Amino acid sequence: MKKIIILLITAVLAVGVYAQNAQEEKNALSKFYGGVRVGFTATQISGDDLSGFHQFGGTAGLFANHAVIPSGRLKLQLELNFTMKGSHSKTPKNQIADNFYSLRLGYVEMPLMLIWTAGKWQLWGQQFQFDLEIGPCFGVNVFTSEREANGPIIGRPPFRWYEFSGIAGITLNIAEHHSSNFRFSNSIIPVRIPTWVYDRVVYKQFNSVLTFSYCYQF
C-alpha cells in the first residue's frame, strides 16, 4: 500500500513539474521585447571608381523581437531604422580637390533578423554573452545628394527608390538591457546602373555599409 501511495505522489509531482515547465515554455514563446538602437555608419558604393568606407553617417531605429524556441536562444527580430549611406572621395583635410566627390543617401529600412545566442566571451576578466544575426532588409530611398567640386551633379540617372540588401552581424551583450552591435550589409540588387561610363571593373552600383550601434532593450 505504501508503495502505491509513493508511486501516486511521484506521478502527481512529475505531472506538476511537467505542467509548470510547459507553462514556462509557453510564456517564453508568447513574450515580445522591444527596444531602441542608435549608432553611426561607414559606407561606400561599389562601382563608383572610389574605394574605402569614407562616407560617414548615422542610424537610429526601433526593434521588437520574439523567441522562436522555448530556450530563447533563437529569436526573430523586426526593425524600423533610418540609415545614412553613400560614398566620399578621400580628400585631404581642409582641401577641396578637383576629384572631390560626395554622395549622401538616406534610407528608411525594415530588416528582419534571425538572431542566435551563440555563447559567451571572456573579455577584461568578465564573461559577455554574444549573439550572431543574419537576415534580409527592405529599404526606401528618401533623399539623395550627389556633389562634386563644382557643386551638385545633375543629369545622371536617379537611384532606385527601393533597395534589397542582406545583413550579417554580431551583438555583444554588455549588461542587462544594454548591448553593442556591429553589422555589415550589402545591396543584393544594384541601387543604380550608370549610363555615363562603360569601362569600370564593377559596372553596377551597390551600397556597402558598416554599422556600429548601441542597443537598449526594454
- Whichever domain contains 62, its CATH number is 2.40.160.20
The structural domain count of the chain equals 2
Does residue 43 sit in the same domain as residue 18? no
pLDDT tens track of the chain, all 218 residues?
555 545 444 444 444 434 344 444 445 566 899 999 999 999 999 877 788 899 999 999 999 999 999 888 999 999 999 999 999 987 655 555 667 889 999 999 999 999 999 988 777 777 889 999 999 999 999 999 999 888 898 888 899 999 999 999 999 998 889 999 999 999 999 999 887 665 555 578 999 999 999 999 99
Does residue 71 sit in the same domain as residue 9? no
Does residue 66 sit in the same domain as residue 119? yes
Does residue 185 sit in the same domain as residue 94? yes
Does residue 12 sit in the same domain as residue 119? no
Q: What's the pTM value of the predicted model, to 2 decimals? A: 0.83
Report the SS3 class of residue 3.
Answer: helix
C-beta neighbour count of 48 within 10 angstroms: 19
Does residue 123 sit in the same domain as residue 39? yes
Name all contacts of 170-177 with Cβ < 8 Å and 24+ positions apart. 170/130, 170/131, 170/132, 170/133, 171/115, 171/130, 171/131, 171/133, 171/215, 172/121, 172/128, 172/129, 172/130, 173/128, 173/129, 173/130, 173/131, 174/128, 177/35, 177/216, 177/217, 177/218
* Strand-pair category, 162-175 with 178-187: antiparallel
Instruction: Give the cell for residue 40.
Output: 553611426
Does residue 127 sit in the same domain as residue 24? no
Q: What is the pLDDT of residue 148?
A: 87
Does residue 135 sit in the same domain as residue 98? yes
Query: Domain span at residue 164?
Result: 32-217
Contact call for residues 179 and 215 (beta carbons, < 8 A): yes
Does residue 26 sit in the same domain as residue 133? no
Does residue 149 sit in the same domain as residue 202? yes
Does residue 112 sit in the same domain as residue 14? no
How does pLDDT run across 140-149, given as a tens digit for each residue?
999 999 998 8
Rounded to an integer, what distance in angstroms lies between the CA atom of residue 117 and that of residue 87?
34
Does residue 37 sit in the same domain as residue 25? no
- Residue 71 DSSP code: T
